[in-house]
Structure 1
């Protein structure tokens, strides 16, 4: 993994992060001065009356000033760390979402939504926290260690040497516990993703769930997933709870050993009382950085897992947008499938050397058994997926050479599974044409025969229709979807089982109304219903690839 790739998300904030480091180093320097003041005060208090070089009041006043400066530096660094971390997380989430939008539809179909949502939330936050709370604050901790050891070596080289010899013990403990955090971090992400995916699935299937009275079963499934997440969380928390205290315990034991040595040196006359106080305070200062550095190892393991997932995600190839390709203007609509073959990964071929020509302005109905590849043809035409062999031509232009956005603007798709926004009627109709006027929306709604029911809604075009249009009937959702498609006035129109939600009377009305809509367009109908076949100039039977000679 090339972790340097993630630097591009950090580089824009390098000046702010540098300022944070400077403030933290200044605060650390102020903190490191505390033992010096304590030693100086001890020396004054133990000195003979009248022999002190500085009055106690002066030392205390200077010490107070130092504490004020340190507090101010702490406020500034804490604010910058928090705000920069939040900004980095927001930007990283934005990059993840942007990349998510340009990945092929097949990529999304092969992933659990929980995994995708985890990239946006947990992994983006983990990286930003690691940079701001771990990497940036590492330098002050190292400075504390270096300065403390330097002063200790100046005051008593033997004690400094013993302290240095204890460091490998802290490192071994941190590594032994820290290396177990990474697999637990990965397991936590997987458990969390599974839980989110389950909730998302249940919310989408809520009417089915209630219709079959499956609430107890689904509650049990959720409880099992929740327990699994809890178990992993407890294990991870246990290791984190052990890590810093274990190193802290070792550091405390080491401090007592150094205290014993210091007392021996004081008793033998090799060390002054004031120097012993200063030395012991620096020994105590060492325990904080050692515990923090032990925690760093676990945080590195946690961030490493997040970084690997993000790098793998950003390494996914986006849709071939055809930048620099031919920009399609208003096409006539002649479509040709030429020797097209396609198979979904790990499955038998759906299409094998398929050929079909649809003339401009012609309405063609595609029929055939489920799984024959009718909807696959539409997905290939819109380049949601790419053929394994052969090519598709639109007005004689290979669509693989066309700029993707301009290609999709030529095609209007009304699918069987209507997808609507949790917004107003107007927002749904104008989704593909956000600058459309209300009059243009009304014209599209009238053409789709949706105007009548819209006018009877509580707030008309401003009515909020709920998640996936739950406040509308199936037929109303279908008409709203058709109005959304007609607003962009595509020269090629695809109706994929568009009448599946209608009863016979509604279907007859829809078909009668569609005659006007289909004029001067190339239309592909995917249907099994005889009434809808009457709209077609030609009916094409799509034969499954495994039945072809």
Structure 2
């Protein structure tokens, strides 16, 4: 997610360096959180056959172990989320501080090109979105990616041939997410531009209301405002329509993949290459992949929108300053 881009997300990494200790503590909690997933999948493989056999004592022991692992995992998740929130908010604050300091030194010719409403939106909404992307990348995207790697590694250990068949679907999902993400970023840029223009119009209108009334220009101002909010609605609708299309397509592919794995698993059990207990653990691990895939898809879309916001903030840095 922090690949090189014109927005320059990698240039924000030095802002995280003062928080190395906090990030390290959060990272340790993250590792504990991720390590619990294959253990839970293994316990599921022990539990399902015990339920089928009616072995109440074994079911009780496995459930007790599973609850203990869940408790440990949730404590680690709490530590991860709370420890990693601080650095992300600090980066957003530092970014605002630097941009505001530069804003005060901008050349007057550059200031004339930027309206007050536009600058206000960039230093509030755009900066907030960038901070949210940084937080989601550290707190959600990274553990989701690690969960995918660890759980899929466990699936390979259980049955590499079945895992190879599962892996064939991954490139198709990745390509679709990438294509949708690129279109979402373009739509988000247009939407943010419309919000910025709307904020600029509101700032000018509120400040100039006495003059508008003096010249009886209320109908003209109302018409201009209605045009801006209609353009904003259209831009937002295009973004939401893309997101609405993406989730059913990716969800259908996930469902088709799970059904295909069940079919292949039945064939592997019939041939004697996989036990019922092993397949129970495999299916549990497979279901554990759905949530991180969904999170990565959502976060990628938010990352694309964050790129658009960061690009708008970087434009302030590119303006000329007074000597």
TM-based fold match above 0.5: yes
The counterpart of 1:41, out of the listed 26, 47, 62, is 47
Q: Which whole-Å deviations, capped at 9, do the CAs of 1:220-268 have from their partners, x for residues lacking one?
A: 2112111111111121122223334422321121011001111222233
Question: Which residue of structure 1 aligns with residue 3 of structure 2?
Answer: none
1:13 aligns with 2:32: no
Give the number of the structure with larger relative contact order, counting CA–CA contacts within 8 Å between residues 6 or more apart: 2
Identify the structure with the greater strand proportion. Answer: 1
Q: Which runs of 5+ in 2 are unaligned?
A: 1-5
Pair 252,48 (structure 1): closer, same or farther in 2 beyond 3 Å? closer
TM-superposed CA distance for 1:301, in Å, is 2.2
Q: Which residue in the other structure is 1:363 paired with? A: none
> Are 2:323 and 1:314 aligned?
no
Residue 222 of structure 1 is matched in structure 2 by: 225
In proportion to residue count, which structure has more helix?
2
Shift of residue 3 of structure 1?
4.5
Post-superposition CA distance 1:193-233 (Å, at most 9, x none): 11011011111111111222322332221121111111111
SS of 1:318's equivalent? coil
2:110–2:320 CA contact under 8 A, matched in 1: no
Alignment of 1:75-224 (within 5 A): 75-224=78-227
**1:316 CA drift (Å):** 2.9
In structure 1, stretches of 5+ residues that fail to align are 321-549
| 2:285 is the alignment partner of 1:279 | no
Task: Measure, in 2, the Cα distance between the counterparts of 1:3 and 1:47.
Answer: 54
Find the residue that maps to 1:269 and give its secondary structure: coil
Q: Is the 8 A contact 2:29 2:76 kept in 1?
A: yes
Alpha-carbon shift at residue 162 of structure 1 (Å): 0.7
Check whether the contact 2:212–2:218 (CA below 8 A) recurs between aligned residues: yes
- Deviations, residues 356-398 of structure 1 (Å, cap 9, x unaligned): xxxxxxxxxxxxxxxxxxxxxxxxxxxxxxxxxxxxxxxxxxx
From the CA coordinates, give the structure whose radius of gyration is larger: 1
The answer on whether the counterparts of 1:102 and 1:318 sit within 8 Å (CA) in structure 2 is: yes
Q: Give the corresponding residue for 1:32.
A: 38
Residue equivalent to 1:292:
295
Shift of 1:39: 0.8
- TM-score between the two structures when normalised by the length of structure 2: 0.89
1:190 deviates by 1.2
Alignment length (residue pairs): 317
* 1:58 counterpart residue number: 61
Q: What residue in structure 2 maps to residue 73 of structure 1? A: 76
CA RMSD of aligned residues (A): 2.3
**Deviation digits for residues 303-340 of structure 1 (CA, Å, limit 9, x no counterpart):** 222222223322334222xxxxxxxxxxxxxxxxxxxx
Structure 1 length-normalised TM: 0.54
